[in-house]
Structure 1
Amino acid sequence: MEDLNFRAIEEKWQKRWLEEKVFEPKREDKPKFYITVAFPYLSGHLHVGHARTYTIPDVIARFKRMQGYNVLFPMGWHITGAPIVGIAERIKNRDPKTIRIYHDVYKVPEEILWKFEDPKEIVKYFMKAARETFIRAGFSVDWSREFHTTSLFPPFSKFIEWQFWTLKDMGLVVKGAHRVRWDPVVGTPLGDHDIMEGEDVQILEYVIIKFILEENDEEIYMPAATLRPETVYGVTNMWLNPEAIYVKAKVRRGNREETWIISKEAAYKLSFQDREIEVIEEFKGERLIGKYVKNPITGDEVIILPAEFVDPDNATGVVMSVPAHAPFDHVALEDLKKETEILLKYDIDPRVVEEISYIPLIKLEGYGEFPAVEEVEKLGVKSQKDDEKLEEATKNIYKAEYHKGVFKIEPYAGKPVQEVKDLIAKELQEKGIAEIMYEFAEKPVISRFGNQAVIKIIHDQWFIDYGNPEWKEKAREALANMTIYPESRRTQFEAVIDWLDKKACARKVGLGTPLPWDPEWVIESLSDSTIYMAYYTISRHINKLREEGRLDPEKLDREFFDYLFGEEFSEEREKELAEKTGIPAEIIHEMKEEFEYWYPLDWRCSAKDLIPNHLTFFIFNHVAIFRKGHWPRGIAVNGFGTLEGKKMSKSKGNVLNFIDAINENGADVVRLYIMSLAEHDSDFDWRRKEVGKLRKQVERFYELVSEFAEYEAKPTELKDIDRWMLHRLNKAIEGATRGLEEFRTRTAVQWAFYSVLNDLRWYLRRTEGRDDEAKRYVLRTLADVWVRLMASFTPHISEELWEKLGGEGFVSLAKWPEPNPEWWNETIELEEEYVKNLIEDIKEIIRVAKIEDAKRAYIYTAPEWKWRVAEVVAEKRDFREAMSELMKDPEMRKHGKEISKMIQRLIKDRAFEIKRIDEEKALREAKDFIEKELGLEIIINPEVDKGGKKKQAMPMKPAVFVE
């Protein structure tokens, strides 16, 4: 067979689908199915990781369409936010890294690349490219509803304005102060989508406790940062990095002014957190080593010791040491005791360190006075170089003490640590001894502008108040009534709903929709993308009015959207709105009908990284704005993709663009490969070699069905092996259907493609040499079913084959196959499995026994009494009960000893599943085939007991002697 021209087949059917508007549904009197996927952010080409996210809903949409549903699967483009503006800025400044990515990885022609100094040109280029990619991938999208975000598309912008006015009127958009990730160079808050590196990094709340340093009769504070303020009672010393740069600075906050010593990096970061920092001098940490500071809680004087492990870019760069309860501190002190030359360098008497007494604070079951010391010994930590073990020890102790520890120090003695922690933090702050500092849990956090982010306290910032308790309760109610795939992700959604609080919803820079009541702010990307699924329902009409020049977006006011999405049908209201908007009343009525028909949304699909933000915001915004009957019904979450075992990275050039994968392999091969690799939210790995193998199998599928299309499908008298093939086809239909109903695409592919292919190979082996009407009927019937099973995975090839088969219309609209009740035959399947296993057993006997020139095999099937034993054991599942039942039969009592042994063996092997087949009949029907496969003469149940094997025969496991 010549190489299959995938590209020609794809173009043929893509053109016909578009011309005949196959995927542009109108309201019909049949059940609807509405599925959407998070629209892509268009700062570059989509890669094969994205391909999975977008192929899953298309496969499901195609499946449901074939099941007879009226399916809506629309698509739009997300261009809101700062990233695109940042890219334009970097290209304008000729940033080499950015230029390389867009020229080499995204293959943007040079004459177009320089136009990217204007963010609108970036958007225009990648929107066109994304649409082409989606069409080339064979996605069954309703393109009549296409739109993009931001004020560059005024109708949608008016919809977003309506959303925000609605939230504001409910008191869910508020103004206030809050901590945000911040780009200090551009001067803008950063949402999840504005982060290039470190988007999942947690923001920690440190308590910074002001230890007191007396220097030249001046009281200076050295704020030590801690996540465990309760341990301040157990401080034995302070740690500073002698090589780091520290500053003495005036720190002003409100009416208070103090002098602090902190790292240079901390001074910079704190300047964004409601503090005015005036640096007086800079110096190395070594200047303070050996000095003493006073613990503001206990009044103890503790020494400052050198520690290279102190990171000046973490919190304040000043660390308090609590060796009884902090493994790192204990090990650092032990290491320092061995390094007397370091101590002498700073004029510290080594005896001072030797004599440091640990202070026990927490009673913890299973540990003595100093849990940190015991945990370090238990894990075999030798020094500070044992990073991993020390991290493990720290996690173990902190977790155990927090959840099970009891505080020993008055006035908190006897209280649980988790309660004491908050009490002490509050008390320290009330006394002015401590303050809060926000810090990233990990570094670096880089914005899409390429700058290192900081945490800033913003005042007069607009927030969506996801912390509102009533709103949370409604979100929980909605989630409880939704289907989540995989179900294991439900607890994560619940946790996100619990911890979500105020979220900054507007920026001063970037593309977007201006905040309607405060237009110097622009609504950010995770806030204008939560309910646009409702906009899709009316966008077909909006787009048509725009094309005809009959739409003035400025007239799409709040009343217009209030009516479409919230009110009861009213002819009078439609006439009023027609007067105001210039849109004919009948079109307003149709829009309203469309929304009511398609809503609620049946499925929202996206990758798992959007659970902590977009997907949960989607639930919140729906329950706030729409009535309960319009709340979403389900969310399906998928995993990520890697390339040849490595994480995809534009900067490292380790990316395969989706369109390039299609050009290399064909859309159907890419689709099938991605769908076959992983289930639900498991990650997949793209490997070019494996894709090549799959392409050959897809070509074989095409070749086989093309051949079978020549046959006529006339029902005729079938042999057992024919019935087996049809039974297995039923199994494939059932398995693929169940898999797709539950978004388990890998399972569905296993059934729809691999299972049918493997079963067909076996059937062709079993019927080799046959060319009768029964075989042709089976193969022609299989071809008709197989093409429809594969249509959602490989739509282009399936359309081509459907045409060859003489199918009516498009296979995309053909009826999804259902199991044929007449084809079910579990017995024949068991008999065929029996034959397969026997062939493999005989091959294994010949191999293990090293029988050269084997001539014949003697097969002994289990006698009737053994079948009876197996059936009774399967029913009773107990030795005594089974024995008692069997011994009632005089015939069975003749085999008493053997029966006892057989029952014991079956119970030990838990062999409780037994379905009776006629073993001898199965062997005699397959005798010629078995002989051909093995090259042996097969003798079934001879009188002679060769090698004494006969007695070993068990139900479904015949005894074999080979000579």
Structure 2
Amino acid sequence: MGFGKYNPETIENKWQKAWTDTGAFHVETDTSRPKYYVLEMFPYPSGKIHMGHVRNYSIGDVVARYKRMKGFNVLHPMGWDAFGLPAENAAIKNNTHPAEWTYANIDDMRTQLSRLGYSYDWRREMATCHPGYYKWEQQFFLDFLKKGLIYRKKSPVNWCETCNTVLANEQVEDGLCWRCETVIEQKELSQWFMRITDYAEELLDSLKNLEGGWPERVLTMQRNWIGKSVGAELEFEVADAPSDSDNKIAVFTTRPDTLFGATFMSLAAEHPMVEKLINGKPEAEKVREFVTKVSNLDKIVRSADDLEKEGVFTGSYCINPLNGEKMPIYVANFVLMGYGTGAVMAVPAHDQRDYEFAKKYDIPMQIVIHPKDQNLNLDEMTEAFTAPGVLVNSGDFDGMPNDEAKGAIVSYLGKSGKGKKSINYRLRDWNISRQRFWGSPIPVIYCDQCGIVPVPDEDLPIILPEDAIMNEDGRSPLPQMESFVNTICPKCGKPAERETDTMDTFVESSWYPLRYTSARKEDGPFDPEALDYWLPVDQYIGGIEHAILHLLYARFFTKALRDEGYTKVAEPFKNLLTQGMVLKDGAKMSKSKGNVVDPNSMIQRYGADATRLFILFASPPEKDLEWSDQGLEGSSRFLNRIWRLAEGLEGLISPVGACAKPEGFELSSDAKKLRRKEHETVNRASRDMENKFQFNTVIAATMELVNEMYALKDTLVESKDGKFALSSAFSTVLTVLAPITPHLCEELWEIMGYEGIVAAAAWPEYDESALITDELLIVIQVNGKMRAKISVPASASKEDIEKESIAHENVVKFIEGKTVRKVIVVPGKLVNIVAN
């Protein structure tokens, strides 16, 4: 085979077709081989890939290709997170069905991703909007419903007026819809929930098993979101309440040690006791107005530290269970029904939020903790005292350290039935109901006689109607479709109606890694043998923005499926890499900023290999990457340089293998030098591939090896040992770069005369003995200033080095006429001559 001009498009199309035709990246369960499951977070099929996709999937592809070369049986699949609002909005705009828009986009994006040469097993491709996928999601829903892990209740929910649907707490960001940034309202609706709180303790505790494999930042974010608090649940009786009424208010507190200092109570606007407390009171109307105002505020805003504290007196009082004193009950804007019990015992002297509230409404304070060796004075206090100290004004508990008093007070209250130790979580159950069309139908039926009836397993899947016509305002068409809604109750056989809510799209993405292990199985969601073999995912790759939403839900779902007997693993992802963003001009690429770089145009101009090389070389994977046209041009020049090197060596190098060992002949000095550089490159590349996938330094090391080949090739091509050294070194260049720039490497591998593809070659192993140098470069200083450099045999003695250093012509000039007082020899590094 001869050389022409390096033509990336021709070469890349050739090898992509070859990989497809031969099934080069097809993989099967093989328990005789070590497995490696690498997975990038699957994309939403918007129709066009962006540079964030290219970076994410290039990182994953290098890992997959490298692990194959290391001998692993590698699963590297791709699919589509295909349900969701954008498809509906596009369908409305284009007067079509979301399925038509979605599948057309999938076809386009599959073509684009294939053009980048990613080593996917495309036989496992799946789309979450396909009935063959969401059938099993509906099955899981029914399994969880039977177990009590799913329930329906009426409660305040986050409502997005623009999206016309509810959102989970995790999908509200700073009071705005995570997707469209509309201000969220609170609505009272009946919705379906998953009891993720049943797994709160395990979700928190098992984070320790992910330490070292997951970024600490993500672990911290999950710990904070789960938000475990250890404290006490106390009961406060409502004063003057009828004895036959519900006259107790439960409070969760982490500070039972301050109970003697509680002087009022704060309730959430949504607390069920509010209406009872204000009934017949002159304050009733004022409280109702306040409740309406506060209920429409976002939860995030209400819990912010800088929120102006506001409240209104209900006209009722409760009794402090320790000292029997009456405490006024307020409704306050900063108390949330979702956290604890929705009621807070207020201790203004020792809680800053309560302090500000008490000051504003002139509510009494009581100091119950003094710092050690100091007495506080209410008149001198300008803020709450929240540090540790000793109890005062606390009856029999006076003088006790406050940490010790926590347990003692709870124990005391427990004997009278007024309190108990309790654990609270910030995490709330997951609202999975969505009032939109393009999602998995919830498989339940409503019957006037039988109530809520699960759809029988044999009737799954409940398929979204293909003849649905989208409403212009985004409301789901399902409630208007009699052909979908009207059905027969499977229990009593009478007319009934289907649920018209669909599932949150995060349900689909919570279990897709498991489905990839047997993506085409039709008689069940998973093949047990395949699931046992492939799970957990060894390396998961995606954005930090999914730290709470997707990653928390996926962990929960895996544990729930384990408890249903589907899988044996408790965690879906062993290792997590959160790649940085691709920036241009210092900002994230976006149409609104006008700084988008189209991957397709870059590939057309420079080729897939150059695009991959730049995006992997410009920054370590976990850091943000600043786009540079010059950087991409530099990557293209480097690949052309490799091509020209191969062209110049045509007919002179042969397929001896990477890091080949010379047999039956000695290497010249230059051949040894190149071989040493070759093995140093493999040593460094192997280390950096394994250590957090530092591809940029792998590429830099390979560039140095190419430079060394250029520097020595004219000398080396004259001898047998030189040609051998060049052959081995060039083979190493191709094998090390093969995961990064696979097409060029395949082409040159073939031209060199190798049988088989470089993608199936073994990763080279460096030889320690090749790293040993025959000569050392020694720096010579005179009075601390460098004056010369010499090469000496590695075996040279101190005396020999000293002699040669003093005799060097440059050194002689600087010591002439002076007396040498001392010669300091640092073996293998330098000589310092002290003379005056």
Shorter-chain TM range is 0.5 to 0.7
Q: Which residue of 1 aligns with 2:752?
A: 805
- Aligned residue number for residue 359 of structure 1: 366
- Aligned partners of 1:729 and 1:51: how far apart in 2? 30
CA apart distance, 1:183: 1.9
Which residue number in structure 1 is paired with residue 439 of structure 2?
Answer: 511
* Matches of 2:758 and 2:379, distance apart in 1: 67
Is the aligned partner of 1:85 residue 2:85?
yes
Q: Please point out which of 137, 148, 162 is paired with 2:127.
A: 148
Q: Which moved more, 1:413-422 or 1:522-531?
A: 413-422
1:783 matched residue in structure 2: 730
- Does 1:953 pair with 2:834? no
Q: How many residues align?
A: 681
Task: Write out per-residue CA displacement over residues 17-43 of structure 1, whole angstroms, 9 at most, x where no aligned residue.
Answer: 223322223566962535242552416
Equivalent residue for 1:267, pick from 292, 298, 307: 292
Cα distance change of structure 1 residues 235 and 647 upon mapping to structure 2, 3 Å threshold: farther
The farther-off stretch of 136-145 and 729-738 is 729-738
| Structure 2 counterpart of 1:684 | 624
- Aligned residue among 570, 574, 579 for 1:634: 574
Is contact 2:541–2:576 with CA below 8 Å preserved after alignment? Answer: yes
Residues 269-298 of structure 1 show CA distances to partners (whole Å, capped at 9, x for unaligned) of 64899xxxxxxxxxx999999x99988759
Distance (whole Å) between structure 1 residues aligned to residue 605 and residue 396 of structure 2: 72
SS in 1 for 2:78: coil
Q: Does 1:672 align with 2:613?
A: yes
Q: Which residue of 1 aligns with 2:168?
A: 190
The secondary structure found in structure 2 opposite 1:175 is: strand
CA distance in 1, matches of 2:801, 2:724: 23
The counterpart of 2:506, out of the listed 502, 526, 531, is 526
Q: Which amino acid aligns with 1:779?
A: L
1:561 alignment partner, SS class: coil
For 1:319 and 1:271, the matched residues in 2 are separated by 20
C-alpha distance in structure 2 between counterparts of 1:252 and 1:90, whole Å: 45
Q: Secondary structure at the match of 2:756?
A: coil
Q: Which letter maps to 1:671?
A: R
Once the two structures are superposed, residues 645-698 of structure 1 have per-residue CA deviations (whole angstroms, 9 ceiling, x without a partner) of 435566656655655664565433443344446667x33233325445444444
Identify the residue that residue 704 of structure 1 maps to in structure 2. 645
The DSSP-based 3-state class of the residue aligned with 1:526 is helix
Give, in whole Å, the separation in 1 of the partners of 2:748 and 2:280: 80
Kept in 2, the 8 Å contact 1:210–1:296? The answer is: yes
- Superposition deviation, residue 799 in structure 1: 1.8
Determine if contact 2:679/2:767 at 8 Å carries over to the other structure.
Answer: yes
Q: How does 1:592-611 map to 2 (within 5 A)?
A: 595=530, 598-601=533-536, 603-607=538-542, 608=544, 609=547, 610-611=550-551
5 Å matches for 1:806-825?
806-820=753-767, 824-825=770-771
Check whether the contact 2:35–2:74 (CA below 8 A) recurs between aligned residues.
yes
Question: Does the Cα contact within 8 Å between 1:43 and 1:126 map onto a contact in 2?
Answer: yes
Instruction: Identify the residue that residue 44 of structure 2 maps to in structure 1.
Output: 42
Q: Displacement of 1:788 after TM fit? A: 0.7
- Match for 1:755: what amino acid? A
Question: Where does residue 149 of structure 2 map in the other structure?
Answer: 173
The offset of 1:941, in angstroms, is 13
Deviation at 1:511, TM superposition (A): 0.9
TM-score (norm: length of structure 2) = 0.63
Equivalent position amino acid for 1:514 in 2: I
| Offset, 1:755 | 1.7
In the alignment, does 2:434 pair up with 1:561? Answer: no
Aligned residue runs from structure 1 range 449-598, under 5 A:
502-509=429-436, 510-515=438-443, 517=454, 520=499, 521-540=501-520, 560-561=523-524, 565-566=527-528, 595=530, 598=533
Check conservation: 1:799, 1:811, Cα contact below 8 A: yes
Q: What is the TM-score of this pair, normalised by structure 1?
A: 0.56
1:294–1:302 contact (8 Å) kept in structure 2: yes
- The superposition leaves residues 560-609 of structure 1 with CA deviations (integer Å, 9 ceiling, x where unpaired) of 328x635xxxxxxxxxxxxxxxxxxxxxxxxx7xx379544552513352
Q: CA deviation at 1:739?
A: 3.7
Q: Give 1:737 deviation, angstroms.
A: 2.9
Question: Does the aligned pair in 2 maintain the 1:91–1:116 contact within 8 Å?
Answer: yes
Percent of matched pairs sharing the same residue: 20
Alignment partners' CA distance in 2, 1:257 and 1:175: 36
Displacement after TM superposition at 1:67 (Å)? 2.9
Distance 1:844 1:695 in 2: 44
Contact 2:537 2:572 in 1 (8 A): yes
Please give the alpha-carbon distance, in whole angstroms, between the structure 2 residues aligned to 1:52 and 1:657: 13
Q: What displacement does 1:785 show?
A: 0.9
1:406 and 1:416 in contact (8 A); partners too:
yes
Cα pair distance change 1:146/1:366, threshold 3 Å: farther
Q: Which stretch shifts more, 659-668 or 66-75?
A: 659-668
Offset from partner CA, 1:863-912 (integer Å, 9 cap, x none): xxxxxxxxxxxxxxxxxxxxxxxxxxxxxxxxxxxxxxxxxxxxxxxxxx
Cα shift readout 1:503-532 (whole Å, capped 9, x = no counterpart): 344545341253362572534333333444
Deviation (angstroms), 1:164: 3.9
Separation in structure 2 between the aligned mates of residue 407 and residue 654 of structure 1, nearest angstrom: 63
CA distance in 2, matches of 1:781, 1:154: 52
CA distance in 2, matches of 1:944, 1:599: 74
Relative to structure 1, the CA distance from residue 948 to residue 762 in structure 2 (aligned partners, 3 Å threshold; closer, same or farther) is farther
CA separation of 1:764 and 1:655: change in aligned 2, threshold 3 A:
closer
CA distance in 2, matches of 1:652, 1:411: 66
Letter in 2 for 1:728: K
Report whether the alignment pairs 1:736 with 2:685.
Answer: yes
> 1:54 maps to which residue?
57
Checking the alignment, whether the CA contact within 8 Å between 2:265 and 2:327 is kept in structure 1 is yes
The answer to whether the 8 A contact 2:226-2:427 is kept is no
Tell me if structure 1 keeps the 8 A contact 2:680–2:771: no
Task: Select the residue among 539, 542, 554 that pairs with 1:614.
Answer: 554
**Structure 1 residue matching 2:178: 3-state secondary structure:** strand
Partner Cα separation in structure 2 for residue 533 and residue 287 of structure 1? 48
**Deviation readout 1:342-365 (Å, 9 max, x if unpaired):** x9xxxx9xxxx8xx9863233455
Superposition deviation, residue 783 in structure 1: 0.9
User: Cα distance 1:205–1:777, how it changes in 2: closer, same or farther (>3 A)?
Assistant: closer
Are the aligned partners of 2:287 and 2:312 in contact in 1 as well (CA < 8 Å)? no
The alignment's C-alpha RMSD in Å is: 6.1
Q: For residues 273 and 30 of structure 2, what CA distance do their matches in structure 1 show? A: 72
CA distance in 1, matches of 2:650, 2:379: 74
> Does the aligned pair in 2 maintain the 1:858–1:941 contact within 8 Å?
no
Within the candidate set 704, 721, 726, 2:675 is matched to 726
CA distance in 2, matches of 1:411, 1:652: 66
Change (3 A) 1:784 1:524: same
1:15 match? 17
| Shift in Å, 1:726 | 1.7
Q: Which amino acid aligns with 2:751?
A: K
Q: 1:524 to 1:761 in 2, by over 3 A?
A: same
Relative to 1, partners in 2 of residues 1:618 and 1:599: Cα closer, same or farther, differing over 3 Å?
same
Structure 2 residue 671 is the aligned partner of structure 1 residue 745: no
Within-5 A mapping of 1:197-346: 252=275, 259=284, 261=286, 266-267=291-292, 270=295, 297=320, 324-326=349-351
Matching residue's letter, 2:832: A
Where does residue 900 of structure 1 map in the other structure?
A: none
Is residue 716–residue 726 contact of structure 2 (8 Å, CA) maintained in 1?
no
C-alpha spacing 1:423/1:302, structure 2 compared with 1 (3 Å): closer
Residues of 2 paired with 1:161 and 1:238: CA distance?
Answer: 44
What is the CA–CA distance in structure 2 between the aligned matches of 1:372 and 1:683, rounded to whole Å? 52
Q: How many Å separate the matches in 1 of 2:606 and 2:390?
A: 59
Task: Decide which of 740, 755, 770 is 2:701's aligned counterpart.
Answer: 755
1:160 has 2:137 as partner: yes
Indicate the SS of the match to 2:117.
coil
Give yes or no for contact 2:45–2:106 (8 Å, CA) kept in 1: no
Instruction: Tell me how far apart the structure 2 counterparts of residues 208 and 768 of structure 1 sit (CA, whole Å).
Output: 86
Structure 2 unmatched runs, 5+: 182-220, 240-248, 299-307, 419-423, 445-453, 456-461, 463-498, 657-661
Measure the CA separation in 1 of the matches of 2:390 and 2:50: 49
Matched AA of 2:150: V
